[in-house]
Structure 1
Amino acid sequence: MNKKGEGFSINNTLDLEALRIELVTGEVVELRGTFQELNIYCNLFSEGVSGNLIFNDTLNVTNNGPILGGEKVFVRWKSPMYSEFSEMLFKVQKVSERVPTANQSTVVRLELLSSDLFDALGISLSRGFNNQYSKAVKLYWESVDFFKPIFTDESQGIYTFVLPHSRNPIDNINWVANRARTPDGLPFVFFEDLEGFNFASWSKMLSQKSQVKLFHQPQRTLETPEKEFRNIQAVEFGNNSRDASLFSVLGLTGTQEQVYDPLTKSLVVMNKEFQEWVDVAPRLDKGAIINQALPASSVQFLLMKPDNSQSTIFFRDALNYAMQNACMTAMTPGDNRMRVGSIAYIDQISPQIQNGSGMINERFINGNYMVTGLKHTLRPNDYRLYWKLAKESYFKEVKSNG
């Protein structure tokens, strides 16, 4: 990071070094002077980075190029708070909108996919493995020779399996992610961020320390450029999914799993409860989710799989549900270093009347949140970051009144 305050201010949030499109003819068109907005979307639950680019087509490159799909779009940018630039290579998925303007020009919107994701959708590659799922994914990725690297966490067990040519490489790795598990039984997730693709374990992600602290405080309390850089300018709280009836309907209060093994022709019956997941899984904060509402209410009939991957279904469902315990969308000045899957600490002042002796912080909203989504919005001389934040626990335990 630069010296505190160097380059960054609330009115100086973007250094844009390059924004260009390479047409099928090989011609490169610089767009920094004509673009209106570039959005870059990263999501923990989406396998690839996507985006859209809106620009004033003064040279009519949409028709003269022409832009048909597959053209390369390159962007290199950073926040003035840092010295290091980020880069992203996209390919045009389609021209989604053309709007004529009063000066006989056209405003064009292009839908973008990361270059590797775009290429992978047209690739067919089959490989067989006798290995850990995590190591097999890395070997498979390297055999395709993608532009970006893949980062993998270690999975449990060694298995014999085939990734068929009937699925593209992204679908094949998603298939593996749905079967892999850690020694504590937690599942994996596959996603792309600005640096590369990730085959990541939930166990490791939930065990991280917070990388940044976000403030939601009045402007007058922001003593340093760092606080101004991290201050939430707008926030919207998502729906709270902790509804007892839905919790029961989904079978997460507790479920009986009847697992049939076709090799031994036997039926194994196991009872699983939400508290079992709470006890096993790492937590972002100390205050665990406790649900005392309803007893076990569902029965699931499952087929025993050679890798025992059916055993992760309950934990995966419990995790997906618990991560909606508290959700919010926040907007801050742009930060090209932030990555999905990282942890942010929220420091919010309580809405209660302050006593004047010092700021009183919110007890339950504050705490560690996982960054599940990021939208980088670049406009001429403006860079904003929209955060999707979620948590599965509380900073302080919520106690029952009854």
Structure 2
Amino acid sequence: MAGSQSMASIVPSRRTGRQDGWMPETTAERALLEAVAASVGLRFHAGRLVSAEAGPGGIVTGYALTLADDAGVRSERLVYIETAPPDVHHSGVLRLRDEQGDERAVWFYPDDPRLPALADAVLPRRAAGLLAAVGVPGVPPSVALDVATYRPGKRAVVRVTWPGGVRYLKVVAPGSAQALAERHATWIAHGIPVPAAEGWFPTGVIVLAEQPGAPATEVLPAAEPDRLLDAIDALRARIASVPAEGPARTSLAVRFDWYRRRVTQVVPHAANRLAALDRAVAGLLQPPGPRATIHGDLHLGQLFLDPADPSRLTGVIDIDTAGTGDPADDAAALWAHLVATTAHARDGGETDRADAASVLADRAVARWSTPADPGRAARTAAIAATHLLGHVLTGVLPAEEAIARAEALVAGALEGRT
């Protein structure tokens, strides 16, 4: 654990559909966590779900575990379990099979097999050393850390503060830091307000300046929906003008069948409806549309707004997913995130934020069509439907609600084609 900081400050909890204090709901789930504990010579005592999201190989679920040794002494550990892991073996990764015979990859935080530099970024003295190594002035030997984002297997962002200074350490896959730092410089040169990269390490760390503005999710209720959507459309047009050095992140829609099978396990009675959705989504994705440079994961959480004028964009972050792709992916990701924001805000009693996100989502759908790309609305609907199934697996939406919304999206897209 980093210095005297608590577990919550080292890994931020991501809200899911389960309540705090959760314990394993099924025998299979508990058996898996017991096997994880036994792998390090300890006994499982209690567990709490802290995150669940789509990862590189499937769904990655994070648990805060209380473990005990033979003498009854307890300790807290964070563990991540990935479904359908790729056939790659990393040191420190345990591979188990559940009752259905599906393989799981298991690792203890911060030993993420795809982000080996994470341990350096979440230890204060190591983090301070990284900043000093790239010439950031005035960094003391020890600093305060807060993990702003951790997407298992994908990336992490650690906020580093000290009296008079703040920087961000972005952790990515080894070997990709230089290209990402260069991408930041290219986007800035094309007038896109991304954080400046002040240095990078081949192990997979980039030092970033602070992004001006306020996170869009914080000031959303004060924004004017159409003005904000105009600003997002203008940003996407500017991104499309930037030369891309490679493909964007693979579209979520190519894995619709995987999501369908997983959601079918949750709601077996919906198997026929999900199979029909699968066929419809495959049809809506054809023919492919024109390619352009896209963000690859554009949503409200990536945008910063002017607190004095919350309809004005001041910046965009997390461009490591960017490249050549289908603009429908960014439109679908934005809409799906707004749906999730609405659900989370309502669950938390934040009516103003929920209403603002819901209105923005509805108005965003009206912008899916474009004369330059007649099929974009249909492809966006298909990709958005895939996101909805992902929301089921991460606990954001109840299965019935997500399936019904996906069916409505797909039906509307099919009707628009006739």
Q: TM-score scaled by structure 2?
A: 0.30
Higher RCO by CA contacts (8 Å cutoff, separation 6 or greater): 1
**Bigger proportion of residues as helix:** 2
Q: Which protein has the larger Cα radius of gyration, Structure 1 or Structure 2?
A: 1
